[in-house]
Chain A
Amino acid sequence: MDEILSVKNLKKYFIKKGFTGSDKEVTRVADDISFSIKNAETFVLAGESGSGKTTIARLILRALEPDSGTISFDGQEITNQKDHLEKIRLGCQMVHQDPYASINPRMTILDIVKEPLEIHNVGNKQERNRLALQALSQVKLEPVEDIASKYPHMLSGGQRQRVAIARAIVTNPKLVIADEPVSMLDVSVRIGILELIKELQEKHGISFLYITHDLSTARYIGHRIAILYLGKIVETGPINEVLSSPHHPYTQALLDSISDPDPENLHKEKKIRVNEPLDIDVYQGCRFRARCPYAIDKCKQEPELEKVSEDSQVACFVKIN
């Protein structure tokens, strides 16, 4: 079996009740989401804030209950049974965005890293210390003993994120969900973290779900990508294919908006191919219709993901390019 995680038709709607409880506002944060992650693969979920990226991560770890759909991890469908939850929460770990908020300032680095082992009752005390120190050396926090006795405030942002990664890999997980792991870090530190993720993958065969809004770093470490827009996957496929020849107008707009450091930019006019948003119900038909410069009449119906090549799919009637 070569798939570590498979998500099928996952749905989650958030319902906000009005003041009187009568009128409701429904946000479709995950609408019929399907994707799978192979062993030792980095799969990217990319989209803007509010597109549902983090919600999907929380659904996978059952921090949230899905409305419908299935999640299979390591060949086992995950339900609310206790042993299922233990399986996914041990085998799938998470690295959060902000390393200043995600690690407890009152605990030493050693205690932080070995906490997941304690929660899951792995080994005895000595064994846990050994595993925690080993994880610290895997994330290249040297000298290990020295770092282990420190507190988070004594470390830099990049070092803290390494602690968070050490905590994620200490249970020897098969999948790590990394939610914007470098967006809070300085430019020169980012690459170090991305390289570390790559290395852990090569050495230990860990799969990564990399959640980001930044297509450049996604390109650097990702293998396959899914572009999310308002809770729906609009385009998915091998990352090089999707980012070099996008078929969905939203993917194109995202790519337009990136400024690579290039002296030519100064003299060029910057253009993003999107329209001013129309005031229409985004859940009627294609969700991007309100901003899409290519919208046609047919777009009032909802497009489904269709194959455009061997491995790529796009949900668009126009299919640019």
Chain B
Amino acid sequence: MTQNPNVPLIHTVSVVTLSVDDLSVQYQSQGKKIHAVDHISFSFSEGESLGIAGESGCGKSTLGLAVMKTLQENASVSGKILFDDISILETSDSEFTKDIRWKQVSMIFQGAMNSLDPVFTIKKQFMEILQKHNFQGDHVQTIESAISSVGLSHSVLDKYPHEISGGMKQRVVIAMALILKPKMVIADEPTTALDVLVQAQIMILLKKLKKDGLSIILISHDLGIISEIAEKVGIMYAGQIVEFGNMEEIYKNPKHPYTVALLDSIPKLQETKKITPLKGNPPSLVNPPSGCRFYDRCPQAMEKCKQDPPKIKTASGFVMCWLHE
């Protein structure tokens, strides 16, 4: 990774590794257990970026929140998350806040542009982050460099959220995530709810930040924008990662029938071939069925698929499917 001299924001050149091992998250709600994330394992490193793709309710946001230790109180977590050899789940909350949260890994939340406080100026809201984290150093200068790095002028700082556009708010939120120079940012649907042109401009910004050395975990339902950023991709379905590997391999040669269906179901601008819709809906995560969770909707389901599918090694990752045994 080379460092762009114009952008002093991200100082890291060191290798970041994130490895998730057998992670499960369950929500307790109205006497029911919801298995939002179910025995997930994967890892990636060396300035790579990762895309987590899946549809609503597949657990992709929960996965992001688990890494940030910001799950709701009704969630119980098991498994292991290693961030640069620090076990996140074994770290206490206060230690995590002191050493890791926002300093090592930060998050751009879904619908983040609505998370700005309407009664404070942008500058006040930046100050709050720095004060919360006991930042030593020149506050104003740090804020200004963060705001420039996302392509905004300093005049934005004196404005209130309602005075700036949605795209600008999203940039402000990205600048906030970057202000303590984390090595890794988790971006949960960073472009949804934005206009088409603005979406693309935010993607261009994320691409630039990535080039400057930032590792990005992009959580999205949009395989198009994931292909702009991510070397590695995990496809999530009903709480599990059903396929994981290099983006190129997965897009060119998808192995899991769900990945195939997901890629097929996107209408492309330069193609008008007829697409066969996927039937049915994902299973409930309250009592997920045993065996392959895609069984009911899979065009290639076999008798064997009623048993839990094994994790089969592929060239760059794995696939959870009996077809590739």
Residue count of chain A within 8 Å CB distance of chain B: 42
The segment out of A22-30, A262-270, A303-311 that lies at the interface is: A262-270
B251 cross-chain contacts in A, Cβ below 8 A: 261-263
B224 touches A260 (CB 8 A): yes
A8 at interface, CB cutoff 8 A: no
A157 cross-chain contacts in B, Cβ below 8 A: 56
B269 touches A266 (CB 8 A): no
A258 touches B196 (CB 8 A): yes
Could you mark each residue 209-232 of chain B with 1 if its beta carbon is under 8 Å from any beta carbon of chain A, else 0? Answer: 000000000000111111111110
Given A156-B281, A192-B277, A243-B269, the answer on whether A263 and B247 have CB atoms closer than 8 Å is yes
Given A259-B203, A263-B251, A272-B201, the answer on whether A215 and B228 have CB atoms closer than 8 Å is no
B197 touches A188 (CB 8 A): no
The segment out of B13-21, B68-76, B260-268 that lies at the interface is: B260-268
Given A262-B251, A265-B227, the answer on whether A257 and B199 have CB atoms closer than 8 Å is yes
B281 cross-chain contacts in A, Cβ below 8 A: 156, 158
B204 at interface, CB cutoff 8 A: yes
| Most A Cβ at <10 Å: residue of B203, B247, B267 | B267
Could you mark each residue 184-213 of chain A with 1 if its beta carbon is under 8 Å from any beta carbon of chain B, else 0? Answer: 001111111011000000000000000001
Closest residue of chain A to B49 (Cβ to Cβ) is A266
B263 cross-chain contacts in A, Cβ below 8 A: 261
A266 touches B272 (CB 8 A): no
B261 cross-chain contacts in A, Cβ below 8 A: 188
Could you mark each residue 243-278 of chain B with 1 if its beta carbon is under 8 Å from any beta carbon of chain A, else 0? Answer: 000011001100000000111011111101001111
B207 at interface, CB cutoff 8 A: yes
The segment out of A10-18, A69-77, A165-173, A216-224 that lies at the interface is: A216-224
Could you mark each residue 74-116 of chain B with 1 if its beta carbon is under 8 Å from any beta carbon of chain A, else 0? Answer: 0000000000000000000000000000000000000000000
A216 touches B203 (CB 8 A): no
B196 cross-chain contacts in A, Cβ below 8 A: 48, 213-214, 254, 257-258
- Rounded to whole angstroms, the CA-CA distance of A298 and B112 in the bound complex is 41
A192 cross-chain contacts in B, Cβ below 8 A: 277-279
- Rounded to whole angstroms, the CA-CA distance of A235 and B211 in the bound complex is 36
B189 at interface, CB cutoff 8 A: no
B278 cross-chain contacts in A, Cβ below 8 A: 188-189, 191-192
Instruction: Give the contacts of B49-64 with A (CB-CB under 8 A).
Output: 55-56
- Rounded to whole angstroms, the CA-CA distance of A312 and B261 in the bound complex is 35
A259 touches B200 (CB 8 A): yes
Main secondary structure on A side of the interface with B: helix
A253 touches B197 (CB 8 A): yes
B267 touches A194 (CB 8 A): yes
A187 touches B200 (CB 8 A): no
B247 touches A257 (CB 8 A): no
Chain B nearest CB from A235 CB (Å) reads 15
Could you mark each residue 258-293 of chain A with 1 if its beta carbon is under 8 Å from any beta carbon of chain B, else 0? Answer: 111111011001111010000000000000000000
B269 cross-chain contacts in A, Cβ below 8 A: 215-216, 219, 243, 255, 258, 260
- Rounded to whole angstroms, the CA-CA distance of A270 and B224 in the bound complex is 12
Chain B interface size, under 10 / 10 to 19 / 20 to 34 / 35 or more: 35 or more
B197 touches A48 (CB 8 A): yes
Instruction: Give the contacts of A92-111 with B (CB-CB under 8 A).
Output: none
Closest residue of chain A to B191 (Cβ to Cβ) is A259
A258 cross-chain contacts in B, Cβ below 8 A: 196, 200, 224, 269
B267 touches A216 (CB 8 A): yes
Chain B nearest CB from A243 CB (Å) reads 7
- Rounded to whole angstroms, the CA-CA distance of A215 and B252 in the bound complex is 23
- Rounded to whole angstroms, the CA-CA distance of A63 and B29 in the bound complex is 42
A272 touches B200 (CB 8 A): yes
B267 touches A48 (CB 8 A): no
B117 at interface, CB cutoff 8 A: no
A195 cross-chain contacts in B, Cβ below 8 A: 275, 277
Residue from A49, A244, A261, A270 in contact with B266 in the complex, judged by beta carbons closer than 8 Å: A261
B279 cross-chain contacts in A, Cβ below 8 A: 192
Given A192-B278, A195-B277, A257-B197, the answer on whether A219 and B224 have CB atoms closer than 8 Å is no
A256 at interface, CB cutoff 8 A: yes
- Rounded to whole angstroms, the CA-CA distance of A134 and B221 in the bound complex is 34
Chain B nearest CB from A183 CB (Å) reads 10
Chain B nearest CB from A275 CB (Å) reads 12
A261 touches B226 (CB 8 A): yes
Closest residue of chain B to A216 (Cβ to Cβ) is B267
A259 touches B262 (CB 8 A): no
- Rounded to whole angstroms, the CA-CA distance of A245 and B116 in the bound complex is 41
- Rounded to whole angstroms, the CA-CA distance of A195 and B265 in the bound complex is 11
Residue from B197, B201, B266, B277 in contact with A254 in the complex, judged by beta carbons closer than 8 Å: B197
- Rounded to whole angstroms, the CA-CA distance of A233 and B161 in the bound complex is 31
Q: What 10 pairs across the A-B complex have the smallest Cβ distances?
A: A257-B200, A192-B277, A259-B224, A220-B267, A261-B223, A186-B55, A263-B248, A48-B195, A191-B277, A265-B227
Interface residues of B (CB under 8 A from A): 55-56, 195-197, 199-201, 203-204, 207, 221-231, 247-248, 251-252, 261-263, 265-270, 272, 275-279, 281
Interface residues of A (CB under 8 A from B): 48-49, 156-158, 186-192, 194-195, 213-217, 219-220, 240, 243-244, 253-263, 265-266, 269-272, 274
Known contacts A220-B267, A261-B223, A266-B247; 11 further A-B pairs (Cβ under 8 A): A190-B267, A191-B277, A192-B278, A213-B196, A216-B268, A219-B267, A259-B203, A259-B227, A260-B266, A262-B251, A270-B207
12 residue pairs from A and B, CB less than 8 Å apart: A187-B55, A188-B265, A190-B267, A216-B267, A220-B275, A257-B197, A257-B200, A259-B224, A259-B227, A260-B224, A266-B227, A272-B197
